[in-house]
Amino acid sequence: MIMTLPSFIQIYNELITIPTISSVTNEKLDYSNKALIDKLANWFADLGFSISIQPVTGTRNKFNLLASYSNDSNHTQGGLLLSGHTDTVPFDEGQWTKDPFKLTEQNNKWYGLGTADMKGFFAFILESLRDIDLKTLQKPLHILATADEEITMAGAVHFAKTATLQPDCTIIGEPTSLIPIRAHKGFVSNVIRVIGKSGHSSDPEKGINAIEVMHLVIERLLQLKQKLKDEYHNESFAVPYPTMNLGIIHGGDAANRICGCCELVMDIRALPEMDIHSLFDILCHSLKPVMDKYPNRIEVKYEVDPIPGYECKKDEPALQEVEKLLNQSAQTVNYSTEAPYLNQISPTIVLGPGSIEQAHQPDEFVDMAFLTPTKETIQKLIKRFCC
């Protein structure tokens, strides 16, 4: 195999240097990932991978990359898929002490936006391939790079709908401190808007105060919160029930004016076995008494498309193989990943270098101690599922 790759540090730095921020609300902060996709495509092509780049529908010039290597004409069945997302969250400029778009080595850590979450995973993959003779592989090896994981999961959704391959195992390299993750909760974010009737505060009966109506809404939500806690349990999770958080509320503009509009943004973290879309109906049913009292004044909608929960069953052979390789039992987490979508294609495990505690944080970093064990882990996975 002809090795034309740059050094690990150069690869890592080039990935971090390219801004790939995703944002729903601010188009100026929503960067295309095309430059990063092209760079990855060139590196994997140099190693002999076949390359497919697909535009992702419903995005602002975003793309998925699938790089595949197979020594067999049956290049879609079996083998291993290593997956990661190419985008990052925005950064708080005043809180970073390092350049977010430069890989900085300091205190035995690599700093930069996306080092842990999770552009750096591709650098670890490429480093791991240096010592593997791809011509010896008996089953396909696929590398997937997706778009918009941080906001809509559009890249993973698109891939799950269009993919023809069926690997034996998929690994998503989110920062799990190299602990295999087999399940996580779903995420539903709803916006509840109350439209009142404004007027002068000296005569409240001539208006409808949206804040007061929202107070009734919140009473119903807190009842639903307790109901979900009482009726649904999964002891695999540290928090073994669905949670609800009232995250943002705002309304009104002056003390002497009846509030004409009040808006609440909330989320529910659903257990994997729960139907993520039925929660919308459950929410609306819970609010029905207030909606009936104030017809056409309460609106409920999704803030973003809901993300289902995910679970790879404990008796799944691929999961058992990964646990055996790592000599470590799989765990569960509360945050969300692309696993619900890729799990539709093949058994999916979340496993990667770095700590989730660094994700979305100023001065994001990966500890340099992860280099050797991550390289060894990826090589073990390739040898197990592709040889």
Average pLDDT over residues 37-46: 98
**pLDDT greater than 70 at residue 196:** yes
Across 269-279, b (16+ Cβ under 10 Å) vs e yields bbbbebebeeb
φ and ψ at 109, to 5 degrees?
-135, 150
- Which residues carry out catalysis? 87, 149
**pLDDT greater than 60 at residue 1:** no
Distance CA 258, CA 56 (A): 45
CB 121 within 8 A of CB 173: yes
Average pLDDT over residues 33-56: 97
Dihedral (C-alpha) 323, 328, 333, 337: value to the nearest 10 degrees? Answer: -40
Domain boundary among 253, 283, 302: 302
Distance CA 318, CA 346 (A): 9
Distance CA 363, CA 97 (A): 7
**pLDDT greater than 70 at residue 124:** yes
Owner of token pair 């879609």:
76
Question: Element (H or E) spanning 211, and its range?
Answer: helix 210-231
Average pLDDT over residues 375-379: 98
What is the DSSP code (8-state) at residue 307?
Answer: B
Identify the three-state secondary structure at position 381. Answer: helix
Please name which of 189, 184, 311, 286 lies closest in space to residue 228, comparing C-alpha atoms: 286
| Domain-embedded: residue 373 | yes
Owner of token pair 């799950």:
160
φ and ψ at 177, to 5 degrees?
60, 30
Distance CA 126, CA 42 (A): 12
Residues 6 or more apart whose CB falls under 8 angstroms from that of 110 comprise: 12, 103, 104, 120, 365, 366, 368
64: which strand partners? Answer: 54
When the pLDDT of each residue in the chain is averaged and rounded to a whole number, the result is: 96
Examine the domain organization and report whether 294 and 316 are in the same domain.
no
* pLDDT for res 72: 85
Examine the domain organization and report whether 34 and 84 are in the same domain.
yes
Examine the domain organization and report whether 323 and 192 are in the same domain.
no
- Residue 254: which CATH number? 3.30.70.360
What is the DSSP code (8-state) at residue 43?
Answer: H
| pLDDT: which is higher, 342 or 94 | 342
Cis peptide upstream of residue 153 (ω within 30 degrees of 0): no
Q: What is the phi-psi region of residue 290: left when phi exceeds 0, alpha when psi lies from -120 to 50, beta otherwise?
A: alpha
| Domain-embedded: residue 291 | yes
DSSP letters, 291-304, are HHHSTT-EEEEESS
| Domain-embedded: residue 275 | yes
Please name which of 72, 30, 67 lies closest in space to residue 50, comparing C-alpha atoms: 67
Six-digit token string for 18? 């390219």
φ and ψ at 266, to 5 degrees?
-135, 165
Give how far Cα 120 sits from Cα of 37, 50, 97, 104, Å.
Answer: 14, 22, 20, 13
* pLDDT for res 3: 54
Examine the domain organization and report whether 149 and 282 are in the same domain.
no
Distance CA 230, CA 164 (A): 41
Number of domains in the chain: 2
**pLDDT greater than 50 at residue 130:** yes
> Burial, 164: exposed, middle or buried (Cβ in 10 Å; 0-12, 13-18, 19+)?
exposed
Examine the domain organization and report whether 253 and 338 are in the same domain.
no
| pLDDT: which is higher, 304 or 140 | 140
Residue 26 banded pLDDT, cuts 50, 70, 90:
confident
Domain boundary among 302, 333, 367: 302
Average pLDDT over residues 76-105: 96
pTM of the model: 0.91
Examine the domain organization and report whether 199 and 176 are in the same domain.
no
Examine the domain organization and report whether 273 and 343 are in the same domain.
no
What residues make up the domain containing 144? Answer: 8-184+310-386
* pLDDT for res 361: 94
Examine the domain organization and report whether 162 and 52 are in the same domain.
yes
| Domain-embedded: residue 3 | no
| Domain-embedded: residue 2 | no
Six-digit token string for 162? 């269009």
Domain boundary among 272, 302, 332: 302
Residue 354 banded pLDDT, cuts 50, 70, 90:
very high
Report pLDDT digits (tens) over 172-193: 999 999 999 999 999 999 999 9
> Burial, 226: exposed, middle or buried (Cβ in 10 Å; 0-12, 13-18, 19+)?
exposed
φ and ψ at 287, to 5 degrees?
-90, 0
Examine the domain organization and report whether 297 and 256 are in the same domain.
yes
Average pLDDT over residues 11-35: 95
Residue 327 banded pLDDT, cuts 50, 70, 90:
very high
Owner of token pair 């995910």:
310
Six-digit token string for 72? 């067999």
Report pLDDT digits (tens) over 204-249: 999 999 999 999 999 999 999 999 999 999 999 999 999 999 999 9
